[in-house]
Structure 1
């Protein structure tokens, strides 16, 4: 056993401890904090947030100003005590007039903007109705959009020698069989409803369309001739709105149309850079403000505020870019955002409703309760009225439409197809019969041609695509998705922080099963590989509502997938694939952009209501009895009654409560959202969501977390 060494031995070996009174480091030594007795109020009081401080300062300024005005009025009243009572009455009337003028000034200094895939609606908050401008810009190019595309729209199939197929096989055997099946189902349904039908109606239509010949009308004999856009000298670099659609396809120089918004989101397929995309949006807005609102001088714009309508399921990168555009380029004094469904309830005057907004290329569904969008009820489907237009054109061509050369890439053909859809399509089965229609084909520099044709069930089956979306052409809707604009990512944990919804997650999971996992990580698929939906099964979205609580709603982070087996994307005959329940906070489908949200409208509505009600039968009855349809896609005749019947067949237990409402006061469904946003813009006294220039300069887009009425 080795004993303890003596001090002399340590000193001899150089191991003796010495103290030279020097610190181990020149850095200051901070004593450890007492963990039991420390406290901080950092970011725990409202006055420590800049947004709240500025709001309080503004309130104090208004209070001080009103007190000074009252004192001044009292002083003036004392000096004029000898005035007559009539003069005082006149003074009171003048004060009331001044208050009214001030109120009008508040409404007339607010610009309300609602951007859609096809139209822009813009106006002052004091206006009764907005100005509608096509959301399109024509730019100089070497070729027009019709010359730039190799294939016409809708795309036809060709034989080996390059000639087109027969009309019955023009769009492939799968599409033709689907169309014929829908036609046969319609006949069965009409017979069940005791509606009279001729047995050879389809043959009558085809034979008539085969032998019809167009009639030529000279331009000076055409009373409805179109005024085409005349190009100035020198021709402009770009043309915006209605004049852009009336530029001749064969103009010199050529112009190419660009639609910055597609399927309710930024159009990444037609643009080469993000800068050009948002530049076109700003040019369209700038032209509308100058020409539609009469604010030609940009020096006056800092006096105006702006209310901007955004989708319920928005992308944060889009919102922050728009906020920067409105603050920096347009220099508005204040800006605030409002969600589409909430604006729709404002415009209709409802406190709670299930809002179904059917636009040109997007359909959004959301349940609103007491002035708040229920987060887990939000659904965004990538289909709309434009799909009905294209499908109606395909059905007419299938039945030997006399104008077989129609191409929706051409501007005059696109406007013609939109007009035919608007005038002919109906959901009333009583209107389904062989009828003769006509239309005028007007091309720049050519004589007008009058075509006569017959239509049968195409007018009904085209809008039926909302309930059987596989009849739509969904092949190009995910083209170049996420190529220009990346998803917003949280700077702390690196997770995607765009808003998500349990109802949307359930629909996406039903359309495509979760990705297979390898070594714990999910395999990603190319963005071009898209899952087109098969016919949805209503039970997958609604079967759990009455039996058990749906996905946990306390967090908007995610939701488990459905527990039933759904049919994988493809078509009829695809074997069912079992979809396992995912218990992660972020479902796998939310991380993927290769799943296209195209789903049966009636089932999607019930899915949204199921997640909003959360197994509360009273809420379920309230929402299912307060469905409000807005948007231009809902203008099809008989659409509301048809949707009611579909919902009643899916939920017979609530058949008496189901009610489809329309906007009150005969308000156009297309402008309800804008009208609600204009009302919201007038609530200057109770609206705390305005973002000022000072706040944006100091905080940037972070100010949205404090200013939005919802969880941003």
Structure 2
């Protein structure tokens, strides 16, 4: 009989005994299980863990350490401090005082526009103004394209129409009817204001203009000759491009030909004349680079590494517009630091006010925004695609309608474009007293031709053309949406692919108006939540709650089903009506809504657009609404029309008679030029102490994180 074996013997015989030396199978450290009952994390919960916040603090600390070392080194060599102990302590504790960032001569402020670029140093009182245009070697000039079709475009007239009636038929029946209706309305307004109106003023103007002929002035008798840009005789020696004023002074029939390109149109990228994103990118970079060299004297781009830049962007911007220009400033031009500032907020810095409604009438866009406590109210932002250029084109059309003697004027020609701008700036007015028959004299200086002197008479065209801001249907909007989204795609969210460009409630109201939808007027006591409810609003809310308590309530409904699930009513037994399955895709809905918005041109009368912005900016607070009514600031080149502010104030009082005493449209303070007030505000902001200011984007940070930094660096909601 076999005896009983021990456990060790059995393991040894069966090969289950452990024979190793108790060493671990791997050298990797083993992490114990987390106690699920009590654990927490601090990941991305402190600002020190973000590079966007940590880098400026580390940079300030490094500057303080370096300043302390320099001071100790100077004392070691026997230098005597010039300041007292308290001054030394203050200078050491203030990083901004020790930093080269505080030097305003190293600060560059750039404000680009559709027609002009304003640029200058922080030490400059006023900026340098450069046309935002580049002329490139091309097959033909812009005035030769389209078989030489002029601007404004003339319609073909039947041969049966007499030559004396041609100007009345050039721009179509719709324009003629609107023009005549505006003339009748002006006469009615003038009679209501007890002003004398002669019935035959139009006939006097037309008959005078028909008889005019030009007078030629010899070159040696013309003291204001134009210095045209010289083109080398050899095509190989001719430069590839010109920018700024030189581009506008190139003869149209030069050899080789040059064509003008305006990279920014209507406040966005010009996708109508460009077919390549790289070409658009390169043109903007060259315009900025040449402006820095010619206007600011920065000969080498490498020197910009020691400069800071405050760049002004629109209030209602497009993300691709901002990111593309930021990339140009940091990677192409090489600025050391860049800060983005919104136009309306910058205007309040320049005007020295904290709360205002900023109305900026530019060359091709008009922006309206309410600024309160140093922030732009997001829902009050409005961007209208009309401006001073539309007034210029309509002014020329009205003058031609009244048989303007220089009937060959073509705004595609460079010298005619400059002439039209000068005529508008000199004669445009919204003052009723300026509506009379007056003589206009102007000179036409074309390359290779003798100077011609013309005389013409005008009556109400200068007044009615500016009135187009309040009746935008008189403007020509046919080409403003051509090519939109063909070159620069829409910005989308990186996670779900939905459009993420900023929108506002006031802009949506403008879209509804432009598309013809019936949108209810926003009430100051209704749709929008008030920041501080009034007594009457509180009583109304309590009465509604009491009525709701007195009314028998039905059973409480369940929670809503998640998006994308079928309708639960279909599964209820006894439901005879069959309903189809409805699936909602929120991303697709947002994309379709954005595509529909892109098909609508945001245009609205200026006075109604201001009221929309004010209603959304006040958020139902009557006190804040009255504050905004009393601080409407009119800026921009289009606002330089005489008596425009007075006329706008009267229009607003007609639409809001209950706020007649509070409504006040004011020009920029201290007699500032309204065109440069935004640039001046950027200069004021850039010269503030950089200590504690986290809005500067350094080149090292941008090279590491790219445009993702904007989420933490912008003073507004990105």
- 1:160 is displaced (CA, Å) by 4.5
Give the whole-Å Cα distance in 2 for the aligned partners of 1:318 and 1:436. Answer: 45
Summarize the alignment of residues 226-375 of structure 1 with structure 2, pairs less than 5 Å apart.
Answer: 226-232=226-232, 233=234, 234-375=237-378
8 Å contact kept, 1:141–1:256: yes
**Equivalent residue number for residue 190 of structure 2:** 190
**Structure 1 residues 301-329: Cα deviation after superposition (integer angstroms, max 9, x where no partner):** 21111111110111111111111111111
**Equivalent residue number for residue 134 of structure 1:** 131
**Structure 1 residues 121-151: Cα deviation after superposition (integer angstroms, max 9, x where no partner):** 0111111111100001111112100001332
- 1:158 is displaced (CA, Å) by 0.8
- 1:76 is displaced (CA, Å) by 8.1
Change (3 A) 1:104 1:702: closer
- 1:436 is displaced (CA, Å) by 1.1
Summarize the alignment of residues 51-450 of structure 1 with structure 2, pairs less than 5 Å apart.
Answer: 51-68=52-69, 106-150=103-147, 151-160=149-158, 166-232=166-232, 233=234, 234-450=237-453
**Equivalent residue number for residue 687 of structure 1:** 693
8 Å contact kept, 2:101–2:308: no
Give the whole-Å Cα distance in 1 for the aligned partners of 2:604 and 2:591. Answer: 19
Q: 2:616 aligns with which of 611, 619, 624?
A: 611
8 Å contact kept, 1:217–1:450: yes
Between stretches 456-465 and 220-229, larger displacement belongs to: 220-229
Change (3 A) 1:367 1:293: same
8 Å contact kept, 1:505–1:587: no
Give the whole-Å Cα distance in 2 for the aligned partners of 1:685 and 1:138. Answer: 42
- 1:679 is displaced (CA, Å) by 1.3
**Structure 1 residues 512-560: Cα deviation after superposition (integer angstroms, max 9, x where no partner):** 157xxxxxxxxxxxxxxxxxxxxxx9xx56x33234133899xxxxxxx
- State the superposition RMSD in angstroms: 2.9
Change (3 A) 1:454 1:605: same
Give the whole-Å Cα distance in 2 for the aligned partners of 1:88 and 1:710. Answer: 41
8 Å contact kept, 1:216–1:449: yes
Specify the SS of the correspondent of 1:366.
strand
8 Å contact kept, 2:44–2:50: yes
**Structure 1 residues 9-58: Cα deviation after superposition (integer angstroms, max 9, x where no partner):** xxxxxxxxxxx9xxxxxxxx999977654422221111111111112212
- Looking at CA atoms only, which structure, 1 or 2, has the larger radius of gyration? 2
Specify the SS of the correspondent of 1:474.
coil
Give the whole-Å Cα distance in 1 for the aligned partners of 2:117 and 2:379. Answer: 28
Specify the SS of the correspondent of 1:149.
helix
Between stretches 102-111 and 145-154, larger displacement belongs to: 102-111
Tell me if 1:622 matches 2:619: no
**Equivalent residue number for residue 43 of structure 1:** 44
Summarize the alignment of residues 466-485 of structure 1 with structure 2, pairs less than 5 Å apart.
Answer: 466-485=469-488
- 1:72 is displaced (CA, Å) by 6.4
Give the whole-Å Cα distance in 2 for the aligned partners of 1:243 and 1:88. Answer: 51
Change (3 A) 1:33 1:180: farther
Structure 1, gaps ≥5 residues long:
1-19, 21-28, 82-86, 515-536, 554-583
Summarize the alignment of residues 510-549 of structure 1 with structure 2, pairs less than 5 Å apart.
Answer: 510-512=513-515, 540=519, 543-549=521-527
- 1:213 is displaced (CA, Å) by 1.5
Give the whole-Å Cα distance in 2 for the aligned partners of 1:613 and 1:68. Answer: 53
**Equivalent residue number for residue 466 of structure 2:** 463
Structure 2, gaps ≥5 residues long:
1-15, 17-29, 532-585
Give the whole-Å Cα distance in 1 for the aligned partners of 2:74 and 2:330. Answer: 38
8 Å contact kept, 2:134–2:287: yes
8 Å contact kept, 1:344–1:672: yes
- 1:589 is displaced (CA, Å) by 5.2
- 1:152 is displaced (CA, Å) by 1.1
Specify the SS of the correspondent of 2:296.
coil
Q: 2:511 aligns with which of 508, 511, 514?
A: 508
TM-score under structure 2 normalisation? Answer: 0.82
- 1:456 is displaced (CA, Å) by 0.3
8 Å contact kept, 1:104–1:126: no
Give the whole-Å Cα distance in 1 for the aligned partners of 2:207 and 2:453. Answer: 19
- 1:464 is displaced (CA, Å) by 0.4
Change (3 A) 1:101 1:544: closer
Specify the SS of the correspondent of 1:546.
coil
TM-score under structure 1 normalisation? Answer: 0.82
- 1:88 is displaced (CA, Å) by 7.8
Give the whole-Å Cα distance in 2 for the aligned partners of 1:129 and 1:285. Answer: 18
- The count of residues paired between Structure 1 and Structure 2 equals 620
8 Å contact kept, 1:131–1:292: yes
Give the whole-Å Cα distance in 1 for the aligned partners of 2:522 and 2:282. Answer: 47
**Structure 1 residues 252-271: Cα deviation after superposition (integer angstroms, max 9, x where no partner):** 11111110110011000001
- 1:276 is displaced (CA, Å) by 0.4
Specify the SS of the correspondent of 1:230.
coil
Specify the SS of the correspondent of 1:347.
helix
8 Å contact kept, 1:133–1:242: yes
Specify the SS of the correspondent of 2:430.
coil
8 Å contact kept, 1:130–1:674: yes
